[in-house]
Amino acid sequence: MMSRVTTATLLEMKERGEKITLLTAYDYPSARLLDEAGIDILLVGDSLGNVVLGYENTLPVTMEESLHHTKAVARGAKRAMVVGDMPFLSYQTTVADAVLNAGRYLKEAGAHCVKLEGGREHAEVVRALVEAGIPVMGHLGLTPQSVHVFGGHRVQGRTEEAAQRLIEDALILEEAGISSLVLECIPAELGKEVTARLRIPTLSCGAGPYCDGQVMVLHDMLGVTGKKVPKFVKQYANLHDIIMDALATFKKEVAEGVFPGPEHCY
């Protein structure tokens, strides 16, 4: 049995120049498949809201919903690190709220780390979580919980001023104690510079090829939804069409009395 991926494992991978893989997972069967495939990190993202629960964006996701799905993923992951994505307003109110909510991911859900969005404004929260023994993954660039502030899903860090602020935020978060950092929807060269400046691993979600690892939403990369995906997503399969063909065949065979056949009957 392979040993569990930890924050120390990820740091060693960065030092060796070995790329890290992170995919989202929201349930037990997906977690088992990703774990068997050797994916390093399973993120129970607040993308749960869009992908699984049918919300317009990530903002409505609750702690209870997130914990419920994290528990299922943790039961399926034997090797991969499981990261719980803290929902909107679970850590932005007070430091005490953040510690109590983050602790639930480890204590109740079986996660190994939590992820939170934002920069220097959350440095105090990061310090408190780390002091409480809770590993933290940071997230800069396009942070979906701030979608209304950004005015939509737009590439961040395009201006010199914005790029410099992002670099400063990354360094502040690293000093505060994050163990890894997701960079979402920023120019590739900025991703390269941040990666070079940090000791901790960076994970690219549309931040170019120079980061220490790559992030994608599972349903996007497998082509499950049949919807348009972001530019940075590569679709490795088109499961939507495969599933629709299977469903259409099932409906047709039931209507025509082909299924069930003799081999399916007792």
Note whether 91 and 145 are within 8 A (CB).
no
Query: pTM score, two decimals?
Result: 0.95
Q: What is the pLDDT of residue 227?
A: 86
Catalytic residue among 12, 124, 174, 184: 184
Instruction: Collapse the DSSP code of 155 into the 3-class scheme (helix H, G, I; strand E, B; otherwise coil) and give the result.
Output: coil
At which residue do the structure tokens 């399926």 appear? 76
For residue 189, indicate whether it is catalytic. no
Measured from the Cβ of residue 197, the count of other Cβ atoms closer than 10 Å reads 12
> What confidence score (pLDDT) does residue 152 get?
64
Compute the radius of gyration of the chain from its Cα atoms. Answer: 20
Ranges of the chain with pLDDT below 50: none
- pLDDT tens per residue, range 208-221: 999 999 999 999 99
Predicted pLDDT at 222: 98
Q: What is the pLDDT of residues 45-76, one digit of tens each?
A: 999 999 999 999 999 999 999 999 999 999 99
How far is residue 115's CA from residue 126's CA, in Å, rounded to a whole number? 10
Compute CA 21 distance to the chain's CA centroid, rounded to the nearest angstrom. 11
260: preceding bond cis by omega (within 30 degrees): yes
User: Across the chain, what does the average pLDDT equal?
Assistant: 96
